[in-house]
Copies of this chain bind each other. A is one copy, B any other.
Amino acid sequence: MAGIKEIARRANVSISTASYALNDSPKVKAETKARILEIAKELNYIPNMAGRTLKKQKTDLIGIYLTNYGGAFYGSLMKGITDGLNAEGYDVIICSGEKSHLFVPEKMVDGAIILDSTFPTEEIKNYVDRGHSIVVLDRRIKYKQLCNILLDNKRGSTIAIDLLSENNPEKIYLVTGPKDTYDSEERLKYAVKQLDYLEIEFEIIQGDFSKNGGTLAADIIYKKGQKNQHVFCLNDEMAIGMYDFFAETEWEIGQDIQIIGFDDTEVSRYVKPRLTTIRYSKEKWGAMAAAKLIAMLKGESVKNEIIRTHLVRGGSVK
C-alpha cells in the first residue's frame, strides 16, 4: 500500500531522501530523518521485497532443499544450518517440489543447500555454471566451485559390518536404498568391501530407504524360515520398517535377528530393543554446510568436508 513515494510526499522531501532516511544513511540530517521515520511508522510502511531485490540483485535468502522423507532430519539439521546463516544476516527458507528448483536461477535465493536426491545433478551443475553458490549434502559432485559435505559412509559401513561379524554369522543381508542414491551406493560398496575382506557371505535386498521397504525386506528374510539372521539396513527408516514387521511375528529382534541401521534417527532411540546404528551429528552437518556456503558467498574458495560417523550400540545386535 503505502510506498516510499507516499512517504516522501507527506514528508515534503524527495523520494531519494526518504529512501536514504529509511536506510539510515548518514546523508540525511538527523532531524529530517526522524520526521521521515515517524511518518513511515505512521503509515505502517514496509518495503516491498521485489523492488528492493530488483535493485540490489540479492535477497539475503538461502534455499534449503529437502526431500519428503527428509522430515526425520528436520530438527537438528535445520538448527545447524539456520544458526550459522542467521548470524551472517541470511534468512532461510525450506523448499520442496520441482518448481522451487527455479528459485536458484531466478535469483530468488542467493544460495542453496541441497539434501534432495530428486534434484538432478545436471540441473545443479547448470546453476553452478550460472554462478550460483550451492552446497550439496547427498552426493559427490566434483564440479568447479560446487561444495560437497558428505558423511563418512566408508567408516560407517565398515564399523557396521565389523560389529555384525563378531557373531560369526553365516551370511549378512544388506538392504539398500533406491538405485542411484549416493549414500546407498557408498554404504553398500564399503559394506561389501569389508564383507569380502572378512570372507563373509552376503545377500543384497533391494530397498528404497522407506519404512515400507524395510518391511518388505523383512518379509523376504522371514519367509526363508531360518532364524538367527543378520541384517545391515542402509538407513534407520528401513530398520524401523523391519521392527514393524517382526512385531507381528514370533521372531525377536536382537535374538532371532540382528539388525543394524544407519542415521540414528529419533525413533531408533525409542524402539525396543534400541536400534544399533551409525550416528553422526546432524547439527554439525548443517553447521558445516552453512559455513561453507557463507564462505562461497563471500567469494572464498572452499574445500569439501566429511562428517564423521560412529557406532551407537543398542539391543538390536547382540
Interface, chain A (partner B; CB < 8 A): 1, 44, 46-51, 53-54, 59, 68-69, 71, 74-75, 78-79, 82, 86, 91-97, 99-100, 102-103, 105-108, 126, 130-131, 240, 243, 266-267, 270-272
Of all chain B residues, the one with the shortest Cβ separation from A57 is B50
Question: Taking the full assembly, how many copies of this chain does it contain?
Answer: 2
Option from B46, B50, B82 in Cβ contact (under 8 Å) with A50: B50
Q: Kindly list chain B residues whose C-beta atoms are within 8 Å of the C-beta of A94.
A: 93-95
- A238 CB to closest chain B CB, in angstroms? 14
A58: nearest chain-B partner, CB-CB: B50
A267 touches which one: B68, B78, B270 (CB < 8 A)? B270
19 contacts across the A-B interface (CB closer than 8 A): A1-B130, A1-B131, A44-B126, A47-B106, A48-B106, A48-B107, A49-B53, A49-B106, A50-B107, A50-B108, A54-B54, A82-B97, A92-B100, A93-B94, A93-B95, A243-B270, A266-B267, A267-B270, A271-B272
Interchain nearest-CB distance for A269 vs B (Å): 8
A243 to B103, alpha carbons, bound, how many Å? 43
The answer to whether A49 and B91 touch (CB under 8 A), given A74-B71, A267-B266, is: no
